Amino acid sequence: MHGTAFPEELLTYLSIVSTAFVPGGASYPPGGEAQVDTFIEQRATAEDLAAFLDLMTRYPATTVEEATSRISEMESGEPLAFAWLREFIYHGYYASHRTLAAMADRGYEYHGAPQPLGYRIREQMRTPTAVRGSYISTEEVRRATS
């Protein structure tokens, strides 16, 4: 089940960690201002909550600088946990209305979730410019012999 309520301490931790992952700049908000913590809370399962609490215990951080150091430790020591956390944070960041507004202000035609809208595909982008491979109908397929 998604939408598991997170303790305030964990939300604060995720805000700090998401800012360490995505510091922002050039009119883009940092991860904490993009409300990545809220995105994660709304989509996390009870198992995810337990895993986030475990990471918070093993990689504590109360400042962005400390979180940056802890993230580096996690990346080298537990790459799977690092990748899992990074995936949540990046999805939350690029789903944020604040991030999407910053992208729109810079001229990106991104529509955000739900897909399939995403980036606008122009007609010339749909058609390959070079022929690669060939088509063989199912009836014409034969077993390769050596």
Encode the chain (146 residues) as per-residue pLDDT tens digits: 566 899 999 999 999 999 999 999 989 999 999 999 999 999 999 999 999 999 999 999 999 999 999 999 999 999 999 999 999 999 999 889 899 899 889 888 776 655 555 555 566 555 667 777 888 888 988 888 87
Extents of the domains making up the chain: 8-125
User: Can you tell me which residue has the tokens 């918070």?
Assistant: 56
